[in-house]
Chains A and B, each alone.
Chain A
């Protein structure tokens, strides 16, 4: 195992007992390359041949206010596996904001929980006052890895092999790109969305395999919303309008307080992949909030969507966490109670049918990517440590038989989101 260390980045972060700056959330600041990792148990299957990319939260500067776990600077960890061997490297995502803070030697932007005016520079995201970090999602499209932010920012391009930063995507529109674009490997297209505080509040777009913005249309919403993910089928893209969003009155005073709006249903926009706003088919469903969808597909007159339905999108604060009581609850799956769920949209009747697929509190699911946009029998979800945003095991759901297979990690050991490598 040969380790190559790169010149250190400037950091002003002080050691802290903040729940999301310590323990398994202690930021890493060094960037290294390792030619071959030492196998300490079993053997890496010889037929695995690809790259695992993991986006992590690693703030390098002392927060200007109260730190939220999603305020961190993005670091990509990569393992490249081939012939039973694995190499490793990790790099920060050098966004324009990251570089500006490197020059300043200190933090310039406040975070999600900070009051208006905390940032010392004009901010980014639908929120408007945030740092554009790219620290939420990581996907690969047409040979380029894109790191994106859940609040919408630029799509930051990274070479998936070298982890070299390639700057921002040329196709990123003015309102940015939300986390969770979706890729159709068969057509080479990438589908994405964004959202903002100004009408029409949401857009949807398609990027072709050559990296050109091929399609970009409004998805008109009644006001500012907080959609997190989207889904695709062969012919449809599925966007959403859910009743957890910023309180409009408080928003007038630039206070960003998300709350559930009683009596407001969940709405799904089904738009043909290259469709116009007038082609949108709207479907109503029971009120909830959903962070992630696992898959969607077409079956006769129906479009079927699976994901994680929250029973308590506005969770009770975790009082013992003091000044972090709300934040701790909003990142705790056991507080917002997310369960594996299926929505069926009938294109003939315009009606939605829903069914619960499991009683377990789970989220952050993965499927065999060969089944994207096709009916998949198995979904692998993660379980989390109650009270914490930490994965402590997995559940494999068999939606054909209802059977569940479980693996619990040893106490104190936590997993990352875990893609399935097809065989």
Chain B
């Protein structure tokens, strides 16, 4: 795989990826290439393995006991299960956004700088450098104008939409290549959902975004490519318009037509 020049197109590559929770076989021989700079949506009925797959990409599943993984996951061409992989480095380059916004109960400013101060010898970071990072990160998520005069306020006082934007902003100083999003709009109202979708669109091209969503309309609207999973298997991976218009597999067709799931 490493000799394949086409691999440069991909941020995430898996080969024969299997995962078991105890005896339960949650991911079955998943082989997939996820392209740089695109938004790829993972869809499928509850329990199909999409969140498990997402969490494999930054080895978050290891936090749970009795998880066993076989096969290969390469992020930016590096096998993340190699013994020399530093987990904190991995999670810097693979950021994650969760269902419910989870800002730390500290200031907005400190939320944005938290990752980078934890990951650096703090004396290396001058205040004005941090100020720049906070401003550029908050601007990138279109939050700067709203919060620039109250950066010292507790982040938990923000609206849910603003909190979720902050959770994306705080990944950015770490210069992630990949952003994993696990149902990032499920706690938001329609306006907040639209705002996050707009933000995703702005981030397209700069980051590889892998998003799990139960909302098929959202998958259609936001993603460039779509992966349909069922019972732990990858059934189909295609450009989004193709997957919804002319699915190649019967299982995909029945799912996108709302026949089950």
A binds B: no
